[in-house]
Structure 1
Amino acid sequence: MCLGESLMTPPDVDALVFDVFGTVVDWRSGVIRDGEKLGAERDIDVDWAAFVDAWREEYQPSMDRVRDGEIPWRNLDALHRDSLETLLDRFGVEALTETDKEWLTGAWHRLDPWPDSLPGLRRLRSEYFVATLSNGHVRLLADMAKRAGIPWDLILSAELSGHYKPAEEAYLRAVELLDVAPDRVMMVAAHEMDLEAASEAGLRTAYVHRPLEWGPDEYRSTNEPPDSTAEIIADNFVDLAKILDV
């Protein structure tokens, strides 16, 4: 299926909830930028692109420890900090102070939106409630929105359910807080796992293609979307607004 096509007439919904990391913001470039800045200040010779990719690859395994009951609920800052300690040892980085580590962990609060995110969200917000539905915790998402001017109506988070996506509780808690039926809410994401879980919880779904999420490497990015079961497939947020006739 080509970008900009949909499997059906755009559904009648009241709210759009958005995955954030990779879908709304470019996490990779932002964390690399801050890593390089800190590395230059501390004279650290490390491949920051490889470091950040490894950090992101720890994302799901760290949440699995919570999902599996290995550790109690911890927010994403705590999980990122645990992963950071592991990676500093793996990459042989020894020059960082505790303050440095806190600042670097905070890089995940300082991410920039994709170029289409703000104009697309502004258009969508004129007709729908627009809210986050991220595994990032409320403070992280609020910091990100304030810094970048992301025009959310609401900040919803897996934190509010105590369950990380793709647990059903994360989606249904967001629906409950929006005070609508699940089929009046559309999940917007660049990740199939997120959309499949949202659909199973009764939400409508829209896939937005982010071929550069993992950088420009030709082996890791593609201009074509995967075979998606989402009801709407868009190439960016402005395209999504057009499909929804906003």
Structure 2
Amino acid sequence: MQQYFIDTTLTLQQVETITDPRIVHHVVKVMRMRPEAQFELVDATHQPYLAVLQAVAADQKQLQVQITKRLQRQTELPVSVTLACGLPKREKTEWIVQKATEMGASKIVFFGGERSVVRWDTNKAAKKLARLQLIAQEAGEQSHRNVWPTVTFVSNITAVTALSASVKLFAYEESGKQGENRVLKTALNQLNAEDELLCVFGPEGGISENETAILRTHDFQATGLGPRILRTETAPLYFLSCVSYAAELIYS
């Protein structure tokens, strides 16, 4: 069943008028819904509801729906996960945002790594982030999440170290090559509900020695992600898979 996020607060039996062009277009033009069709709405409080389409305006610019059921579900990870990713090339940012949203990330932060080939200036960052935030929203709807992650940009690794978290890690391929597997395993085994995890991933060229030193100075622990070398867009998803398995197994 299709889901949409809206920015108002809903109540049972309420009749709501939807004017968001993105939602109206998708309901009318893409899904071709007719009156009595059902879909889900997640309101501003992150509460999902079942809605029934009552009418489409003659100009097809607004919908009238009735809220018929409050849905009881929990699709969010029991722990908060922030991914800090060195800027990768081209479309890889979109791939990371879309898939990380589907897998439960709470926040996605891109940063200008010393080995990043791509560089964002202030104007470019604003335009890119608007696009990425929309991708996160639509991926959150597709995966039936109750909230979609924020997507932000910071200039360098020093700014990343200022991010708040109770568990701070960075994926380091040298640790993986040496067979290190205890740091991630220990962190996942010691997870508590409501923990905030932050993990840093380098761009295509990896995290530099200077960046590694800065992270260690700010209490980030280096962790391997298995014996294989993962691409910059694969590593965050591998990490999220591990967190999802550990957290949802522990707290289910």
For the criterion TM > 0.5, the same-fold answer is no
Structure with more of its chain in strand, by fraction:
2
Higher relative contact order (CA 8 A, sep 6+): 1
Structure with greater helix percent: 1
TM-score in terms of structure 1 length: 0.34
TM normalised by structure 2 equals 0.33
**Pair member with larger Rg:** 2
